[in-house]
Amino acid sequence: MSKTPSSDPIHARTRESLILAAGAVFAEQGFRAATVRDICKSAGANVAAVNYHFRDKAGLYRAVWQYSHHCALRKYPLQHGASEDAKPQDKLRAYISSFLLRIFDKGEIAWFGKLISREMIEPTPVLEALVKEEIQPQLIYLSGIVRCILGPKATDIQVQRSAMSVVSQCVFYHHCGPVIRHLLPHLTFSKSQIEELADHIYKFSLAAMKGLGK
Amino acid sequence: MSKTPSSDPIHARTRESLILAAGAVFAEQGFRAATVRDICKSAGANVAAVNYHFRDKAGLYRAVWQYSHHCALRKYPLQHGASEDAKPQDKLRAYISSFLLRIFDKGEIAWFGKLISREMIEPTPVLEALVKEEIQPQLIYLSGIVRCILGPKATDIQVQRSAMSVVSQCVFYHHCGPVIRHLLPHLTFSKSQIEELADHIYKFSLAAMKGLGK
DNA sequence: TTGACTTTCAAACAGATGTTTTAAATAGTT
DNA sequence: AACTATTTAAAACATCTGTTTGAAAGTCAA
């Protein structure tokens, strides 16, 4: 029985730098392609450090997820800066904008988006927890907004599908990045371009839902 | 100087079974995770066969792409069964339906969709050719339809973004498969469910574009 | 300082994987 | 049949990669 190394906050330097280095490498290369030697080198740690601090490579991956999830959630909370009693349309606009800003964020927050993209193609056990704790609540929040816009006559399935239509437009540019970069090289995803994109998705979706409601 | 093995059509049994086996394995595991030993075992061939017939693993991957691309294009040509002089709305409906049917097709055709998904996350040199020869023409065709629906006042960028909005909804359910399966377990992507989905995307997008045009 | 512990480190281990080698088998041709 | 070129096969090679080992270094309380 050995004490969990992580419980000692003073000697956490190696542990922390491993997480930071691993975040960058996992995001760029994926879980499988990333090597612990690469990560350790980038963290300035010994090869055995991963096994000592995280048991194995998968343990390090879980730690990175936890950290990256924590960062993303703190910077972009669920409410997206829209007040509780705002109009549904304004909430939708805020939701789309916040969604895009988050997945196109640079730096450590971006890991989160990239890791999610990879989970879609090569799911790990981490995905199930992510869906329950993050994606499901997000979708419920969005569905509430969509329901208000569609009106009382809308069925549950119409709400669900319309919410998916909104999300799909947001996810698309990030998830299909390599193709988009070939297809529309002028798109650099600067802050202003993201805002223009958000505006289009908002207007497109709003018009769609208003049309469907009739 | 040795003759290229592939040029002999009679002794192509091993070569062909390698491509077929590799298609399944690459689609399921991805280029990196797939092992030549796995592929050869599944093809009933010797380990050295890949290097003999395709030079190396990457050569086999290119061959699979070529084959899978060929199959997909033959089964689902660009025109999607809509006549030249059909109404733009009907062309849109046919386009969406055909798009969904293709990426959710089973068997060898499905390799194509899965390989594309993987190229998004881990691009290989194959992607550039794919964009030029397949995706770009598809987008131009769709943009023509969208332009007609949006009307003469629409700008190029509006057309482009609206076309993207249509495509994004089609791609979404396939590309985010693992999340969707957790989120909406009832979705099995049967023929009838795909048709319902196509119907929603069509109505949603059409209403959006009609609204934007005003 | 001593002693118990946590952490680091270099080295080695064990398994997997793409590729090469070398020889045998198999057509195809004259 | 005999010769040549092509294809297959088993084994070995070289490298990479996650993990373990065992000793050294460091940390901290008594």
The pLDDT-based confidence of A79 (bands split at 50, 70, 90) is low
Collect all residues of chain A within an 8 Å Cβ-Cβ radius of residue B158. 200
Question: What is the token pair recorded at B106?
Answer: 């089973």
CA of A10 to C1' of C1 (A): 24
The CATH number that applies at residue A90 is 1.10.357.10
To test the contact with chain B by mutation, choose from A200, A202, A209 the residue with the greatest count of B C-beta atoms within 10 A, namely A200
Q: Does A167 reach chain B within 8 Å, measured CB to CB?
A: yes
Boundary-marking domain end, from B43, B67, B91: B67
Collect all residues of chain B within an 8 Å Cβ-Cβ radius of residue A183. 131, 135-136, 139
CA distance A203 to A186: 22
CA distance A174 to A196: 15
CA distance B9 to A17: 56
Most confident option among A60-69, A158-167, B106-115: A158-167
Question: What is the token pair recorded at B9?
Answer: 């059509």
Would you call A211 and B212 a contact, using CB atoms and an 8 Å cutoff?
no
Chain C nucleotides covered by protein, CB below 7 Å: 5-12, 16-22, 27-28
Considering the domain architecture, whether residues B96 and B158 belong to the same structural domain is answered as yes
Contact B165, A168 (CB under 8 A): no
Q: What is the mean pLDDT of chain B?
A: 90
pLDDT, tens digit (0-9, with 9 covering 90-100), for B156-193: 999 999 999 999 999 999 999 999 999 999 999 999 99
Work out the percent of chain A whose per-residue pLDDT is above 90: 68
Identify the weakest region by mean pLDDT among A96-100, A109-113, B73-77, B168-172: B73-77
Question: What was the pLDDT predicted at A78?
Answer: 65
Domain count, chain A: 2
pTM of this structure: 0.88
Question: What was the pLDDT predicted at A150?
Answer: 97
Range of the domain at A21: 5-67
Helices (H), chain A: 13-29, 36-43, 49-54, 57-75, 88-103, 108-121, 126-130, 136-150, 156-175, 177-183, 191-213
Would you call A127 and B178 a contact, using CB atoms and an 8 Å cutoff?
yes
- Helix A191-213 to helix A88-103 angle (10° resolution) is 140
Q: Does A71 reach chain B within 8 Å, measured CB to CB?
A: no
- In this structure, the number of other CB atoms found within 10 A of the CB of residue B111 comes to 25
CA distance A134 to A139: 9
B14 contact partners, CB below 8 Å, separation of at least 6: B43, B45, B49, B53
Instruction: Provide Rg for chain B, Cα atoms.
Output: 20
- Chain A / chain B CB contacts < 8 angstroms: 138
The CATH number that applies at residue A34 is 1.10.10.60
Considering the domain architecture, whether residues B39 and B93 belong to the same structural domain is answered as no
Question: What is the token pair recorded at A185?
Answer: 């090289």
Would you call A172 and B172 a contact, using CB atoms and an 8 Å cutoff?
yes
Q: What is the mean pLDDT of chain A?
A: 90
Considering the domain architecture, whether residues A154 and A48 belong to the same structural domain is answered as no
Considering the domain architecture, whether residues B33 and B59 belong to the same structural domain is answered as yes
CA of A2 to C1' of C1 (A): 26
